[in-house]
Structure 1
Amino acid sequence: MGGYVVVVEFRLKSGSRGDFRLLVDDNARTSTRVEAGCRRFDVIEPTGDSDAVLLYEIYDDRAAFDAHVASRHYARFDAASAGYVVGKSVTVGELVCEGAL
């Protein structure tokens, strides 16, 4: 089992979620497609909060996450999305139980 879990909450400029979603969705799909250590990358829109987007990511280990952050597609996403983001919080942890497979 195990896994390196990253949960990110983005606070966005009002009205920018659609544009931000285009960028983050591409980053999520590319990450799961080309990064061997990226096991899951979900993008979540919280109900009732149009200026927030959450990410739920699972990597094999910290090294796989570090490779993600060092990737070209992440750098493109980070640079292109910076103008939409007014705040970001990151929580990391260890996956200890998967509810269903």
Structure 2
Amino acid sequence: MFAVVVTFRIRPEHIDAFLPEMMQNAATSLAVEPGCHRFDVCTDEERRDEVFLYELYEDRAAFDVHLHSPHFLAFDDKVAPMIATKQVRTYDQVPT
């Protein structure tokens, strides 16, 4: 498995518009990408401008497919002005 964690800081005036777009991106990724196994969108009421993603893919190649998918590219283009900062970290599962 290949894990991806993303932390966004959303411009406060865009949080209500960002979340539905993010949820649609997650749902579409799970529905149409065979290599996408999990896509959680998380927030905390005390930090409304922060959005945390936890994604699991079959491997790095499946994540690359996600990054080049039409739905992700459209999402990314639409929400780019809403994002103040974005941090992406990736992890390979340790073999047993």
Q: Is the structural similarity TM-score above 0.5?
A: yes
Measured in 2, the distance between the counterparts of 1:26 and 1:14 equals 20
> Whose strand fraction is larger, Structure 1's or Structure 2's?
2
Instruction: Work out which of the residue numbers 44, 47, 50 in structure 2 matches 1:49.
Output: 47
Could you state the TM-score of these two structures normalised by the residue count of structure 2?
0.93
Q: Normalising to structure 1: TM-score of the pair?
A: 0.89
**Aligned-pair CA distance for 1:34:** 0.3
Q: Which stretches in structure 2 are left out of the alignment for 5+ residues?
A: none
Greater helix fraction, Structure 1 or Structure 2: 2
Supply the RMSD in Å over aligned alpha carbons.
1.4
Per the alignment, in what secondary structure is the counterpart of residue 16 of structure 1?
helix
**May I ask how many residue pairs the two structures share in their alignment?**
95
Q: What's the offset of the Cα at 1:15?
A: 3.0
> Which consecutive segments of 4 or more residues in structure 1 shift more than 4 A?
none
- The answer (yes or no) to whether the contact 1:5–1:58 under 8 Å persists in 2 is yes
Q: Could you say which residue in structure 2 is the equivalent of 1:93? A: 91
State the Cα distance separating 1:47 from its structure 2 match. 3.9
Q: Kindly state the Cα deviation for residue 92 of structure 1 after the two structures are TM-superposed.
A: 0.7
Q: What is the percentage of aligned positions where both structures have the same residue?
A: 41
